[in-house]
Amino acid sequence: MSLRTTLIVVLVLVIAAAGASLLAAPQLPERVPSHWNAAGQIDGYSSRETSMWLMPGMILGLSLLMLYLPKLDPLRKNIDLFRPSYHWMVIGLAAFLSYIHGLTLLAGLGYAFNMTSMIIPAFALLFAGLGFLVERAKPNWFIGFRTPWTLSSPTVWEKTHKLGGLTMKIGGAGALLGLLLPPESGFLLSMGCVMAGALIPGIYSYWVFRREQQGSK
From the number of C-beta atoms within 10 Å of its C-beta (0-12, 13-18, 19+), residue 216 rates as: exposed
Report, as an integer, the average pLDDT of 98-104: 97
Here the contacts of 50-57 (C-beta below 8 Å, separation 24 or greater) are 51/21, 51/104, 51/105, 51/108, 52/21, 52/22, 52/24, 52/25, 52/28, 52/105, 53/18, 53/21, 55/17, 55/97, 55/98, 55/100, 55/101, 55/104, 56/14, 56/17, 56/18, 56/21, 56/101
CA angle 193, 194, 196 (to 5 degrees): 65
Of the candidates 98, 94, 96, the residue with the CA atom closest to the CA atom of residue 20:
98
Residue 198 is predicted with a pLDDT of: 94
The per-residue pLDDT for range 167-184, each reduced to its tens digit, is: 999 999 999 999 999 999
Q: Would you place residue 213 in the very low, low, confident or very high pLDDT band (cuts 50, 70, 90)? A: confident
Q: Is the pTM of this model over 0.85?
A: yes
Looking at residues 40-69, what average pLDDT do you find?
Answer: 95
Question: What pLDDT score was predicted for residue 217?
Answer: 54
Burial of 111 (0-12, 13-18, 19+ CB in 10 A): exposed
Do 90 and 13 touch, CB atoms closer than 8 A?
no
Per-residue model confidence as pLDDT tens digits over 106-123: 999 999 999 999 999 999
Q: Which of 115, 174, 164 is nearest to 144 (CA)?
A: 164
